[in-house]
């Protein structure tokens, strides 16, 4: 071990083992023919296999309507992995070894015999742990959750009592409903045959390293945590911008819009991690308790508040990186007079001791100039005494930016003297980059999430009350938009940072949007 490795060893505090114990199990994917399976799940499992992180033995069973053999499914998945794997090329020797654990069973979700076939397939695996430790991944439409869970229960594949030697868990994808009422219904459907502890609701943002680092950053650094409150912070901006338009997902997006697609889950999750109180421990429940408490302290929005504090937008044709881009209404499966929002900006207030009076601005949109997700914490300015005469309001207040993706890192912006005989001040940056510090380690969020679900750790998953509270916030916003078509100030050209109305929103509070910048 060289000197620097020794230092790392001394200063690294292992909070838990890098690899949790994951018992041998089978993962059954419902909706196995879908996009998620080929783009995310199988590439993630393949990488976990490469890293030796999967339990041994382990089996994957795809469940879908189309007729195909195990071998045919393996071949299809190979093509997908060749396209979507984060590492290339695929090592065929490793793939073949991995593919030996992949199986397929054909069936309709409502067909009793299909679950019997699944049972037969599982019993072929011999090892009792592969037959009874079961991770059911519902990559299906939420309208099918209830049916699948009931059928699994009837086929004795899912047992509600999880005190036994063996376990069964259900992983569900977003969208988790389309409003509070439907989310409550889904929760009721799922927990009819499973305990809440067996339900793992995914928000893939929680699987991102940088999102997980928010808690580490806040609670393991006294220097920042002491400033993390209304005394020092002027306001916070959370931006998730995407260059991509809705592309082929017009059908889904017409039902979702940016508020359901991004705000209900990813943005509110990031907000709760940035603003929550320290949990009593790093276990799942204390962390989730604090997140829910934070979401519940967001000041409710009346219809009048929505008009003042929330802005929608929709892109029209424009250019991004010199390439022409269609308007939202020209995208496939989108109505030509659609009023669905592709952009949302809002100002939220958190009514608790720490944050009273500090605005949190949340903003997300498609067809924006840059893909970047970041949290910018803007500190209060210094008293305008020493530099007031010459610099006035131009002296930049300090800011910390947590760059969640890409170019993951943290920047501290402060003022420094420009070298020379004159006395000039200008903002400078201190920059921590994940890549330079730790090397290019970029596991996909799904790798971490799948492993956590297999290990039974719910920290990175959304609890029932959390998802319902988030829907309550989104419903109040949608209520304010009801029967209100978009106005001219709410359209923006593809390739710009959103509609004029978003400027109006922030200017009213004497703030300005700080757009993410490309990192050189
Ligand atoms: C998904 C949304 O949940 O998140 C997509 O449905 C969005 O519309 C995506 O593009 C963004 O995720 P990421 O990981 O690319 O930031």
| pLDDT interval class at 13 (50, 70, 90) | low
Backbone torsions φ then ψ of 298, nearest 5 degrees: -70, 130
Looking from the CA of residue 249, the nearest atom of ligand 1 is 8
The total number of residues shown for the chain amounts to 520
Q: What is the mean pLDDT of residues 470-478?
A: 98
Highest mean pLDDT among 51-55, 395-399, 472-476: 472-476
Element (H, E) at 32: none
Give residue 56 CA to ligand 1 midpoint distance, Å. 32
What percent of the chain lies above the pLDDT cut of 70?
94
Of 266, 384, 431, 511, which is the active-site residue?
266
80 alpha carbon – ligand 1 mean position (Å): 19
Domain boundary assignment for the chain: 20-201, 206-377+459-507
What's the rounded Cα separation, in Å, for the pair 346 and 298?
12
CB 63 within 8 A of CB 107: yes
pLDDT of 488 over the 60 cut: yes
Question: Which of 259, 255, 296, 305 shows the shortest CA–CA distance to 275?
Answer: 296
Q: Return the closest-CA partner of residue 118 out of 128, 127, 108.
A: 108
Helix ranges (DSSP H) in 259-407? 268-275, 284-296, 303-309, 388-391
Distance CA 516, CA 369 (A): 10
114 or 18, which is more confident: 114
Q: What pLDDT is stored for residue 10 in this prediction?
A: 58
Q: What global pTM score does this model have?
A: 0.94
Q: Identify the pLDDT of residue 56.
A: 94
If you search the block for the tokens 């993962």, which residue do you land on?
A: 27
Q: Does residue 20 carry a pLDDT above 90? A: no
Q: Answer whether 374 contacts ligand 1 (Cβ < 6 A).
A: no
- As a whole number of angstroms, the distance between CA 273 and CA 234 comes to 18
Based on the number of CB atoms within 10 Å of its own CB, is 493 exposed (0-12), middle (13-18) or buried (19 or more)? Answer: middle
Kindly report, residue by residue over 180-222, the tens digit of the pLDDT.
999 999 999 999 999 999 999 999 999 998 999 999 999 999 9
pLDDT at 383: 77
Q: Give the pLDDT band (50/70/90) at residue 7.
A: low
Mean local confidence (pLDDT), 84-95: 93
Residue 445 scores a pLDDT above 70: yes
328 confidence band (pLDDT: 50, 70, 90): very high
**Ligand 1 within 6 A of 242 CB?**
yes
Q: Whose CA is nearest to atom 15 of ligand 1?
A: 242
Which residue among 43, 211, 262, 343 has the greatest number of ligand 1 atoms within 8 angstroms of its CB, and so is best to mutate? 262
CA 118 – CA 101 distance, rounded (Å): 15
The CATH number of 20-201 is which of 3.40.50.920, 3.40.50.1820, 1.10.8.60, 3.40.50.720?
3.40.50.720
- What whole-number distance in Å separates Cα of residue 31 and Cα of residue 15? 36
CA of 145 to the centre of ligand 1 (A): 22
> Two tokens at 98?
């991995």
Alpha carbon of 202 to ligand 1 centroid (Å): 13
C-alpha–C-alpha distance, residues 59 and 26, integer Å: 5
Name the band, by pLDDT with cuts 50, 70 and 90, for residue 75: very high
Per-residue pLDDT for 9 more than 80? no
- Confidence band for 425, pLDDT divided at 50, 70 and 90: confident
- Give the CATH number of domain 206-377+459-507; options: 3.30.360.10, 3.40.50.1100, 3.30.70.80, 3.40.50.1000: 3.30.360.10
Taking phi over 0 as left and psi of -120 to 50 as alpha, with beta for the rest, 73 belongs to alpha
State the pLDDT at residue 441.
67
- Residue 156, helix vs strand vs coil: coil
Instruction: For residues 253-260, give the mean pLDDT.
Output: 96
Distance from chain centroid for Cα 14: 25
| 235 has catalytic annotation | no
What is the C-alpha to C-alpha distance for residues 270 and 73, in angstroms, rounded to an integer?
Answer: 37
- Ligand 1 atom having least distance to the Cα of 208: 14
d(CA 344, CA 265): 13
For tokens 């000197």, the residue is 3
pLDDT band at 520 (very low <50, low <70, confident <90, very high): low
pLDDT bracket for residue 155 (50, 70, 90): very high
Query: Residue range 9-28: average pLDDT?
Result: 74
Q: Relative to the CA of 405, which ligand 1 atom is closest? A: 16
103 vs 26, 68, 100, 128, CA distance in Å? 10, 10, 8, 17
Mean pLDDT across the chain: 92
Q: What is the DSSP string of 386-420?
A: SSHHHHGGGSPPPEEEEEEESS-EEEEEEEEEPSS
Rounded to the nearest angstrom, the distance between the alpha carbon of 435 and the centre of ligand 1 is: 22
Model confidence at 18: pLDDT above 70: no
- pLDDT mean over 307-326: 97
Across 9-13, 22-26, 44-48, 259-263, least confident range: 9-13
Task: Among 43, 246, 261, say which to mutate for ligand 1: greatest number of ligand atoms within 8 Å of CB.
Answer: 261
Using left for φ > 0, alpha for ψ between -120 and 50, and beta otherwise, residue 197 falls in alpha
- Say if ligand 1 is within 6 A of residue 261 CB: yes
HSE (CB half, 13 Å, CA atoms) of 295? 28
Q: Which residue has the higher pLDDT, 270 or 407?
A: 270
For residue 295, CA distances in Å to 191, 264, 274, 276 come to 23, 11, 11, 9
CA distances from 272 to 227, 267, 288 (A): 17, 9, 10
């Amino acid at each position: 071990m060289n000197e620097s490795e020794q230092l790392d060893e001394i200063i690294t505090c292992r909070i838990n083992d890098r690899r949790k114990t994951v018992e041998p199990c089978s993962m059954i994917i419902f909706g196995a023919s879908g996009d998620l399976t080929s783009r995310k799940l199988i590439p993630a499992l393949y990488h976990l296999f490469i890293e030796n992180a999967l339990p041994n033995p382990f089996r994957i069973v795809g469940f879908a309507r189309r007729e195909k053999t195990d071998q045919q499914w393996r071949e299809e998945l190979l093509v997908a992995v060749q396209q979507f794997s984060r590492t290339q090329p695929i090592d065929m020797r490793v793939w073949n070894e991995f593919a030996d654990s992949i199986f397929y069973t054909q069936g309709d979700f409502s067909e009793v015999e299909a679950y019997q076939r699944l049972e037969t397939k599982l019993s072929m695996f011999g090892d009792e742990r592969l037959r009874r430790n079961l991770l059911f991944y519902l990559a299906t439409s939420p309208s099918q959750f209830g049916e699948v869970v009931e059928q699994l229960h009837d086929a004795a594949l899912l047992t509600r009592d999880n005190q036994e030697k063996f376990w069964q868990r259900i992983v569900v994808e977003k969208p988790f409903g389309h409003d509070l009422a439907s989310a409550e219904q889904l929760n009721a459907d799922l927990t009819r045959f499973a305990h809440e502890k067996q339900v793992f609701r995914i928000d893939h943002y929680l699987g991102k390293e940088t999102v997980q680092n928010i808690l580490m950053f806040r609670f393991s650094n006294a220097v920042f945590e002491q400033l993390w409150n209304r005394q020092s912070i002027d306001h916070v901006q959370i931006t998730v911008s995407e260059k991509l338009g809705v592309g082929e997902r017009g059908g889904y997006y017409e039902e979702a819009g940016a508020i359901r697609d991004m705000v209900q889950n990813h943005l509110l999750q990031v907000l709760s991690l940035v603003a929550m109180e320290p949990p009593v421990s790093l276990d799942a429940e204390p962390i989730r308790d604090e997140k829910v408490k934070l979401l519940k302290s967001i000041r409710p929005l009346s219809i009048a508040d929505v008009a003042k504090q929330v802005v929608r937008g929709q892109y029209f044709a424009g250019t991004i990186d010199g390439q022409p881009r269609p308007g939202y209404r020209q995208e496939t499966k989108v109505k030509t007079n659609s009023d669905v929002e592709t952009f949302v900006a809002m100002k939220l207030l958190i009514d608790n001791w720490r944050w009273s009076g500090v605005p949190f601005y949340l903003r997300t949109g498609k067809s924006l100039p840059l893909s970047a997700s970041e949290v910018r914490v803007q500190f209060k300015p210094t008293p305008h005494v020493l530099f007031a005469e010459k610099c006035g309001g131009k002296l930049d207040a300090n800011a910390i930016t947590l760059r969640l993706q890409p170019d993951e890192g943290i920047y501290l912006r402060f003022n420094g003297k420009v070298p020379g005989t004159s006395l000039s001040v200008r903002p400078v940056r201190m920059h921590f980059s994940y890549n330079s510090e730790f090397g290019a380690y970029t596991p996909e969020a799904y790798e971490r999430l799948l492993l956590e679900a297999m290990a039974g750790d719910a920290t990175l998953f959304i609890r029932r009350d959390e998802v319902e509270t988030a829907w309550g916030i989104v419903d109040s916003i949608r209520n304010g938009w009801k029967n209100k078509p978009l106005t001219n100030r709410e359209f923006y050209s593809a390739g710009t940072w959103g509609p004029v109305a978003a400027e109006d929103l922030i200017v009213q509070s004497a703030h300005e949007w700080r757009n993410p910048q490309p990192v050189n």
